[in-house]
Amino acid sequence: DAGVIQSPRHEVTEMGQEVTLRCKPISGHDYLFWYRQTMMRGLELLIYFNNNVPIDDSGMPEDRFSAKMPNASFSTLKIQPSEPRDSAVYFCASRLTSGSGGELFFGEGSRLTVL
Amino acid sequence: KNQVEQSPQSLIILEGKNCTLQCNYTVSPFSNLRWYKQDTGRGPVSLTIMTFSENTKSNGRYTATLDADTKQSSLHITASQLSDSASYICVVSASGGYNKLIFGAGTRLAVHP
């Protein structure tokens, strides 16, 4: 299996622009998570889905952030409009409902820089 | 409040030496504890998982311990290699679902030749 695939790996944009990050989870995994990582705050859960349905979005910082999962093999995290404080590495992770003690499989991350 | 604290924040050791990383948690009720390794520019990868009944678990040169009474875990790295240079993140899962994860801030380890 190719693992969790994220794109783009790097994104540099200007304040006010729309940013869309993409994720393809591991085939067969029924949970998908979006995390944000910064030096100051470490890894923070933004939102997670179960069987394509958003379960908990309490970590989404503002209405500027939105996430969708239209099918089992694709999810997007959108920031509109972007701000410099959104600069971070965004990780997508997936896992199975059972087995492996809930191990999360992370993608390589999307490094976002908002100027 | 559920918290996970790791120490030291950063560590530099010479290749071939051993080191121990610490993780203290106040998560309750406890389900399990994982150690993840995160190489620079990569996503975290699970090293070990410890459940309530487990005291020690090894994965090659990595050995994790858990003391559920004192709510402490350690990750011991034996005969360090340059490839061990990474951040090591302690993640505790609260009972009620594997989605209730509390992340530590990580220990950044640098192994020098």
Looking at residue B1, its pLDDT comes to: 77
Per-residue pLDDT for A98 more than 70? Answer: no
| Mean pLDDT computed over A21-25 | 98
Looking at residue A1, its pLDDT comes to: 63
Task: Tell me, yes or no, if A24 comes closer than 8 A to chain B by beta carbon.
Answer: no
Looking at residue B2, its pLDDT comes to: 80
Nearest to A101 among B32, B43, B99 (CB): B32
Query: What is the residue type of A105?
Result: F
A64-68 contacts at long range (C-beta below 8 A, 24 or more positions apart): A67/A34
Q: What share of chain A in percent tops pLDDT 70?
A: 96
| Mean pLDDT computed over A43-70 | 94
| Mean pLDDT computed over A57-80 | 95
| Mean pLDDT computed over A39-53 | 93
| Mean pLDDT computed over A19-47 | 95
Looking at residue A99, its pLDDT comes to: 59
Q: Helix (H) and strand (E) counts for chain B? A: 0, 11
Q: How far apart are CA B40 and CA A61, in angstroms?
A: 25
DSSP string, B9-40: SEEEEETT--EEEEEEE--SSEEEEEEEEE-T
Q: Is the CB of A101 less than 8 angstroms away from the CB of B106?
A: no
- On the question of a cis peptide bond just before residue B29, with omega within 30 degrees of 0, the verdict is yes
User: How does DSSP classify residue A25?
Assistant: P
Terminal CA-CA length for chain A: 36
Task: Tell me, yes or no, if A72 comes closer than 8 A to chain B by beta carbon.
Answer: no
Per-residue pLDDT for A115 more than 90? Answer: yes
Per-residue pLDDT for A96 more than 90? Answer: no
| Mean pLDDT computed over A88-105 | 85
Of the CA atoms within 13 Å of residue A114, those in its CB half-sphere come to 17
Q: Which residues of B touch A32 (CB under 8 A)?
A: none
- On the question of a cis peptide bond just before residue A84, with omega within 30 degrees of 0, the verdict is no
Q: Is the CB of B98 less than 8 angstroms away from the CB of A102?
A: yes
Per-residue pLDDT of chain B (113 residues; tens, 9 = 90+): 789 999 999 999 999 999 999 999 998 888 889 999 999 999 999 999 988 888 999 999 999 999 999 999 999 999 999 999 999 999 998 876 556 789 999 999 999 99
